[in-house]
Amino acid sequence: MRLKRLVTLYAAAVLLALLSGCLLRSGASDGGGVYVYRLRTLHSGDDNRALYAQLVLPSEGESAEDCLVRCLNSEQGSETVERVFPEDIKLLSCRIENGRAQADMSPEYNRLNGVERVLCDYALVYTFYRLDEVTAVDINCEGKTVQTGLRADFAELADAQYGPCERIIKLFVPDGRGENLVSRSFVSAQSTGSAAEAAARQLLLSLDEVPDATSLVSVSVSDGLCVLNLSEEFYTTEPESIHTSRLVISSFVDTLCFLPEVERVVIQVGGRPINSYGSCITSWPMEFDGSLISYDGG
Amino acid sequence: MLKKDQNGKIRYSVQLTFFIIYFLFIALMTGLLNTYPTISSRDAVFSTKQSMMLSQATVMASSLSALESLSGENVTQVMELVDINSFDRVIVTDANAMTLYDTTQTSGSLGRYALFSEIVGALRGQVQFFCSYDGSSFRSRAASPVVSAGEIIGCVYLYEYDGIQAAYIMDIQARLRSISIIAALLALLAVYVFTKALTGRITDLVRAMRIVREGNYDYRISPRGRDEVTELAQEFNDMTQRLQSTEELRRRFVSDASHELRTPLASIRLLSDSIAQSENMDEGTMREFVGDIGTEAERLQRMTEKLMRLTRMDSSVQTQRERVDIKRVAEKTVHMLTPLAQARNITIFSELDEGCIVTASQDDVHQIIFNLAENALKYNSFGGNVFLRLHAAEGTVKLTVEDTGIGIPEEDLPHIFSRFYRVDKARSSDVGGSGLGLAIVKGAVEQNGGTIAAQRRETVGTRFVVSFPAAGEEAEYDEA
């Protein structure tokens, strides 16, 4: 009886851990919670991150943005993390417009320089970039834009050689109506492969329009050119319409081209570039388009 | 190893206890042996790596500090002149933590901010070092600020992955583990053999005790070895020997007592049967027979009283002790025995010193002097002498009772204090002796802390010497 109870508890713990892992990989929020990046004070052998994500839950009726503003400004720390902004600096407000997070800082922000400024900036960037609808962060101070188009890709949180390091990847996937592409955040552990490979694998899981049996044969990035090779099963299901074809192709291309190291994409099936997909004629290589991306949430 | 006793409770064996204790001790030792060297080695490696990496980082930072400002190009030129091959990754950043140089350029890190804790710490002005050991490798990180004209212009970050040192430590650990296991097994085997041998001897001892307890007093065990258990076995044999002797004495005493008691009882019965069966016995004969019955009854009574006295002595019932002036007791005793002495025309000579005080039972002292003096009179020649001397010297009070009587043969002297022992049965019966008087005297003397000895006089007769510690100078008595 006791053994049975122990086994049940263990199974529940494993399930909970798996569930947590899945939620983590979804990136944006966990059960309604959001991630705030703070300055790490206690270093361990696991990794050498200077900024560390903490999961927080918005209060009742509080929006995600307001919660993040509150938590970023909070003096409350713990044994492992503390507030990243120096004492007299505050994040006044934040709003999201057309996929960009506008962070308004207090006037004292302009006095920051060097690594302290970079830490503040990227604490903001990683915090807001983790939201699904945010693809870039602008930092404003005293009505002027100080930093624009900041992305999490512009920094390394930790040495990937040392251990797993999370990387926030933006996926552009069809919305629920199948009309446009919307952005979604996906957090990958970099040691599992290149960002392009992680993005491609996640897209295969996320795209309902792609046959489930489709697998990733290979991904390579060289001199800005990304070659994505899919298995033959990609052709087993015809897309419903030309628009669907365009959505699927654009999803792959825009997602991969959004990575800093990728400028152009070639999609192959069975090692050969696809000439058409459904009724959509393709020519390679393709670059970032973005015309199908909608930033209104989808 | 676990058994149950008569009450059903589990009884732990010595062997199991020893085994568990030794097992725990060996486990502790092997645990220490396996952890301490590994920890020491690991700490030594940490220390070595810290000094090596920090010095290397400092050297690189010093090389870069000659530049006024850092750029990708000039940093690359400087780093080409420095030995970086021993490190798995070398990064140089500017003051904002932007990567200007990275030996692992395939990661696309150039132009990106390296927000590593070591780089942040170094850009804040402090050298950094961190090393971790996960059992298969040492992974070390170090960072040093690049200072030019008193200003931090960048940072050097080093990362090293060392599997060789880790493999070496793991090898040491594996060897220590093997040695520990072998040593532990050998030690446990030795413990088992040793405890088996020890408990085997103890088990033999217990078995011997059970045999003796059942009444087999002849049984002895053969002591083996030269340790405490051997001593225990020897003491057991000695004790059994004493038990055997005591048992023999007891049997003999019971036998002798039965025999002595039977004799007067038989006489009484014979005489009473004679009276009962004789129809025409004349009054004189009848009075004579009745007188004999009374005499035998008196003898029986005296014997019974002496037996009871001996029994009291044997049960070590403590009588009240007090300061006794032996001279006074001796004078009283001599006075009591004067009629007997006069009847046998025996002269009693007394030399009794003053101040002969002992701590003893008044009754016992009277018994001692009375018995010895009475014997001296009973076993003396008609017209003989009895000498009573009392002296105190060097903390001892000595009483000597001598007679000029028949004396005691040399071969009988060692036995005269034994119960029911009589040198001449016929003669002692004539004077009403039972063979218990001197046993009582000896018992009383020893119970009051004294000693008694019997000797033949140089001329004729016997000398008895009783010694007591003088009152106030005697050793402590053991209270029974």
- Enumerate the H helices of chain A as residue ranges: 2-26, 64-73, 114-129, 195-206, 242-257
Phi then psi for B455, rounded to 5 degrees?
-140, 160
Contact B316/A at CB under 8 A: no
**pLDDT greater than 70 at residue B106:** no
Interface predicted TM-score of the whole assembly (ipTM), two decimals? 0.83
Asked if residue B477 belongs to a domain, the reply is no
Q: pLDDT tens digits for B2-38? A: 566 666 666 667 778 878 888 888 888 888 888 888 8
Is B141 in contact with A45 (Cβ distance < 8 A)? no
B40 and B109 both lie in a single domain: yes
Q: Taking chain A (298 residues) in consecutive chunks of 10 residues, what is each chunk's mean pLDDT?
A: 69 56 44 86 75 89 89 82 88 92 94 93 95 94 93 88 82 90 87 81 91 92 92 85 89 94 91 81 84 78
- Chain A residues whose beta carbon lies within 8 Å of the beta carbon of residue B108: 260-261
B56 and B204 both lie in a single domain: yes
Contact B113/A at CB under 8 A: yes
- Chain B residues whose beta carbon lies within 8 Å of the beta carbon of residue A49: 115-117
Region for residue A223 given its phi and psi (left: phi exceeds 0; alpha: psi -120 to 50; beta: otherwise): left
How far is the alpha carbon of B108 from chain A, nearest alpha carbon, in Å?
Answer: 7
pLDDT of the residue at B26? 85
Phi then psi for B68, rounded to 5 degrees?
-75, -40
User: How is chain A split into domains, by residue range?
Assistant: 28-154, 166-287
**Is the full-model pTM beyond 0.95?**
no
Contact B141/A at CB under 8 A: yes
DSSP at B227:
S
Phi then psi for B355, rounded to 5 degrees?
80, 20
| DSSP-assigned beta bridge partners for residue B148 | B151
Q: Decide: B329 and B369 in contact? Cβ < 8 Å.
A: yes
CA–CA dist B313, B308 (Å, integer) = 9
Asked if residue B367 belongs to a domain, the reply is yes
CA–CA dist B384, B394 (Å, integer) = 32
CATH number of the domain that residue B459 is part of: 3.30.565.10
B263 and B296 both lie in a single domain: yes
Contact A41/B at CB under 8 A: no
Contact B104/A at CB under 8 A: yes
Structure tokens at B50: 């810290």
Please count the structural domains in chain B.
3
CATH number of the domain that residue B40 is part of: 3.30.450.20
CA–CA dist B146, B110 (Å, integer) = 18
Confidence label for B99 from pLDDT (cuts 50, 70 and 90): very high
Between residues A189 and B182, the one the model is more confident about: B182
B421 and B384 both lie in a single domain: yes
pLDDT of the residue at A16? 56
Is B104 in contact with A49 (Cβ distance < 8 A)? no
CATH number of the domain that residue B272 is part of: 1.10.287.130
- Chain A residues whose beta carbon lies within 8 Å of the beta carbon of residue B152: 114
B99 and B117 both lie in a single domain: yes
Contact B114/A at CB under 8 A: yes
Is A48 in contact with B123 (Cβ distance < 8 A)? no
Closest alpha carbon within chain B to A155: B113
Confidence label for B159 from pLDDT (cuts 50, 70 and 90): very high
Contact A111/B at CB under 8 A: no
Contact B124/A at CB under 8 A: yes
DSSP at B274:
H
Structure tokens at B455: 């000797």
**pLDDT greater than 70 at residue B169:** yes
DSSP structure string for B407-436: ---GGGGGGTTSTT--SSHHHHHHTT--S-
Please report the residues numbered 73 through 92 in chain B whose beta carbons come closer than 8 angstroms to any beta carbon of chain A.
88-89
How far is the alpha carbon of B128 from chain A, nearest alpha carbon, in Å?
Answer: 11
B27 and B75 both lie in a single domain: yes
Between residues A275 and B149, the one the model is more confident about: B149
Which residues form the domain of B351? 321-469
- Residue A174 has a CB neighbour count (10 Å cut-off) of 22
Integer CA distances (angstroms), B461 to B161, B305, B338, B374, B399, in order: 111, 28, 20, 14, 17
Phi then psi for A86, rounded to 5 degrees?
-60, 165
How far is the alpha carbon of A247 from chain B, nearest alpha carbon, in Å?
Answer: 29
Q: Which long-range contacts (CB under 8 A, 24 or more apart) does A279-286 make?
A: A279/A241, A279/A242, A279/A245, A280/A239, A280/A242, A280/A245, A280/A246, A280/A249, A282/A249, A285/A225, A286/A249, A286/A253, A286/A257
Q: Write the residue in A48, A122, A160 that is nearest to B117 by C-beta.
A: A48
Q: What single letter denotes the amino acid at residue B479?
A: E
Contact A160/B at CB under 8 A: yes
Region for residue A149 given its phi and psi (left: phi exceeds 0; alpha: psi -120 to 50; beta: otherwise): left
DSSP structure string for A164-229: --EEEEEEEEE-TTSSSEEEEEEEEEGGGS-HHHHHHHHHHHH-TTS-TT--EEEEEEETTEEEEE
Q: pLDDT tens digits for B316-328? A: 666 678 999 999 9
Q: pLDDT tens digits for B425-476? A: 655 555 556 678 898 899 899 989 999 999 988 788 999 999 999 987 444 4
Q: At what angle do helices A64-73 and A114-129 cross, to 10 degrees?
A: 150
Q: Write the residue in A114, A153, A156 that is nearest to B114 by C-beta.
A: A156
- Chain B residues whose beta carbon lies within 8 Å of the beta carbon of residue A159: 89, 114, 116, 141, 159
- Chain A residues whose beta carbon lies within 8 Å of the beta carbon of residue B97: 115, 118
Q: Which of B276, B311, B346 is the last residue in one of the domains?
A: B311
- Chain A residues whose beta carbon lies within 8 Å of the beta carbon of residue B141: 48, 159, 162
How far is the alpha carbon of A248 from chain B, nearest alpha carbon, in Å?
Answer: 27
Q: Write the residue in B89, B99, B134 that is nearest to A161 by C-beta.
A: B89
Q: Decide: B256 and B420 in contact? Cβ < 8 Å.
A: yes
Q: Which of B162, B183, B216 is the last residue in one of the domains?
A: B216
How far is the alpha carbon of B69 from chain A, nearest alpha carbon, in Å?
Answer: 14
Phi then psi for A91, rounded to 5 degrees?
-90, 115
Is A45 in contact with B123 (Cβ distance < 8 A)? no
Contact A123/B at CB under 8 A: no
Buried b (16+ CB within 10 A) or exposed e, B36-49: eebeebbeebbeeb
Chain A, chain B: beta-carbon pairs less than 8 Å apart: 77
Please report the residues numbered 203 through 262 in chain A whose beta carbons come closer than 8 angstroms to any beta carbon of chain B.
260-261
> Which class for A129: exposed (0-12), middle (13-18), buried (19 or more C-beta within 10 A)?
buried
- Chain B residues whose beta carbon lies within 8 Å of the beta carbon of residue A45: 130, 132, 134, 139
- Chain B residues whose beta carbon lies within 8 Å of the beta carbon of residue A50: 115-117, 119-120
CA–CA dist B162, B142 (Å, integer) = 14
Between residues A297 and B240, the one the model is more confident about: B240
Question: Is the peptide bond prior to A285 cis by the omega test (within 30 degrees of 0)?
Answer: yes
How far is the alpha carbon of A123 from chain B, nearest alpha carbon, in Å?
Answer: 10
Over residues B182-211, mean pLDDT: 86
B367 and B429 both lie in a single domain: yes
Contact B123/A at CB under 8 A: yes
- Chain B residues whose beta carbon lies within 8 Å of the beta carbon of residue A169: none
Structure tokens at A109: 């922000």
Is B161 in contact with A161 (Cβ distance < 8 A)? yes
Structure tokens at B36: 């301490």
**What is the three-class DSSP state of B129?**
strand
Q: pLDDT tens digits for B379-434? A: 898 999 999 999 998 899 999 999 999 888 888 888 889 887 777 665 555 555 66
Contact A153/B at CB under 8 A: yes
Helix (H) or strand (E) holding B17: helix B14-64
**pLDDT greater than 60 at residue B125:** yes
Contact A161/B at CB under 8 A: yes
Q: Write the residue in B88, B123, B139 that is nearest to A114 by C-beta.
A: B123
pLDDT of the residue at B480? 41
Helix (H) or strand (E) holding B145: strand B138-148
Contact A155/B at CB under 8 A: yes
Q: Write the residue in B95, B98, B116 that is nearest to A158 by C-beta.
A: B116
Helix (H) or strand (E) holding B77: helix B72-79
Is B97 in contact with A118 (Cβ distance < 8 A)? yes
| Max CA pair span of chain A | 67
- Chain B residues whose beta carbon lies within 8 Å of the beta carbon of residue A261: 108
Q: Which of A239, A256, A95 is nearest to A172 (CA)?
A: A256
**Judging by DSSP bridges, how do beta strands A136-141 and A100-105 pair with one another?**
parallel
pLDDT of the residue at A277? 83
CA–CA dist B381, B370 (Å, integer) = 19
- Chain B residues whose beta carbon lies within 8 Å of the beta carbon of residue A160: 107
**pLDDT greater than 60 at residue B287:** yes
Q: Write the residue in B113, B118, B134 that is nearest to A48 by C-beta.
A: B118
Q: What single letter denotes the amino acid at residue A204?
A: L
Is B130 in contact with A45 (Cβ distance < 8 A)? yes
DSSP at B344:
T
Q: pLDDT tens digits for B295-348? A: 888 888 877 887 887 777 776 666 678 999 999 999 999 988 988 899 899 999
